[in-house]
Every structure is written in C-alpha cells, then in structure tokens.
A and B are shown apart, each in its own frame.
Chain A
Amino acid sequence: DTGVSQNPRHKITKRGQNVTFRCDPISEHNRLYWYRQTLGQGPEFLTYFQNEAQLEKSRLLSDRFSAERPKGSFSTLEIQRTEQGDSAMYLCASGQGFLKLFFGSGTQLSVL
C-alpha cells in the first residue's frame, strides 16, 4: 500500500492557461474521487469514477473542467482557460467501496 499519489504538488499558472493534474490511486481501489478545497473550507466534491466510468459530476465542475480515468487506473483532471477563482487545493481520493477513502496530499493550484 503506497498510498494515493498526486502530481504535481504545486502548480503556478497564468490566467487563461490549461493545466492538468494526475492522481495515482491505490492499485486495487475501484473508486476514485476528486475534491476541491479552498482556504478555510472543507473539501467539496467534484467528480467520481467507478473503474473507468465517470458516474457523477458536481455542478461545481464547469465545462472548463474535464476528468478521465482511462482503464480504471490513474486519473487526470484538466482545467482549461484557468481563472483566478480556480486557485485551490485539488484532492484525489480512492477506495474499494466508499466507506473508507484514502486521500492524496493534493495539488495546490495558484492562478496568477
């Protein structure tokens, strides 16, 4: 069990640029979640995969956001045409059911 790995740990970008984050879940976990956390707030649900199928997306996930999980393994979260309001910590979590999720350390995005 090597834990959930997220890369990069930090990303600084200019407004309007595209960014992509990667999440490597614990290998036997079939469920993968993306959450977003801003300063002083709890994580907010963005989207969820069961194996390679994206089963739910939050209304927080505008059409500039897209997530994939090819072959039910790692996942990527892409943000196109970034805005300053996208600045946040993006957290990935995985689980073999949902009742105990393992979280990564997150990717901190700063949009200048």
Chain B
Amino acid sequence: AQKVTQAQTEISVVEKEDVTLDCVYETRDTTYYLFWYKQPPSGELVFLIRRNSFDEQNEISGRYSWNFQKSTSSFNFTITASQVVDSAVYFCALSEAESGGSNYKLTFGKGTLLTVNP
C-alpha cells in the first residue's frame, strides 16, 4: 500500500522568507511518480511538478525547488523568497506505476497550509 505523509499541518512565514515543505512517502514499487500540487483558496488543484523514481536529480524552477532523496523516501519542496500569493495548501502525491500502465491514481498527503504574511 502506498502512503504519503506531510507532517507539517500549517506553516506561517513572513514575506521574503524561504520555506520548505516536507513530504515522506511509502511504496513497495520500484517504479513510481511523485507530484506536488498547489490548492489556492479558489479550490482548484494546480500541478507544480512530477518526478519519477529513477530521476533523483533535484530541480529548480524560478523560486521553486525540489529535493528528491530515495534513501530517505522524501520529496521536499522549497519556496525561496516567499510571496503573499504563495499562500495556499500544498499537497504531495504519489502514484505507483501499475503493470500495463492502464491506470495511475494519485495518493495524496493531507496537505500543508502555507500562509505568507506581508
């Protein structure tokens, strides 16, 4: 069974601070995918990034960066120089690659509510 744990329920920072959101996952598969989604107050989940289990290269995209470490089953997300518009709930998700590739459903963590104060 797959599981995603986001231990931080809420984080509050002041604008321009850096903030890291933690994600730890459990899976028995050797092939899997990890995701981060953002859910602003409007409710619509917005895709941020996807990594596959064979690609541990960390990634930076603008103010966002991701640190994937298979050894610790973690996929952490850092926002540099946070802005008020970053305030949202952030979800980490996992999908195992089923044989035949017919279906990939996401297992989400409980989310971390990030509040960036001016």
Contacts and interface: CB of A to CB of B under 8 A. Distances in A.
Contact of B43 (A42, A89, A101): A89
Nearest to A4: B44
B45 A56 contact: no
Contact of B107 (A45, A48, A56): A45
Nearest to A47: B105
Interface string B91-118: 1010100000011111111110000000
Consensus secondary structure, chain A interface = strand
A66 B95 CA distance: 24
Interface string B17-42: 00000000000000001000100001
Interface residues of B, number: 23
Interface residues of A, number: 25
A105 B47 CA distance: 13
B103 A43 contact: no
Contacts of B105: 33, 45, 48, 56
B46 to A, nearest CB: 8
Given A101-B47, A105-B43, A43 B106 contact: yes
A105 B43 CA distance: 5
Among B50, B93, B104, B109, max chain A CB count under 10 A is at B104
Contacts of B42: 105
Contacts of B107: 45
Contacts of A104: 44
Contacts of B93: 42
Given A89-B43, A91-B45, A102-B47, A42 B108 contact: yes
A21 interface: no
A93 B91 CA distance: 15
Contact of B102 (A44, A55, A106, A108): A55
Contacts of A33: 105
A19 to B, nearest CB: 18
A105 B50 contact: no
A99 B44 contact: no
A103 B45 contact: yes
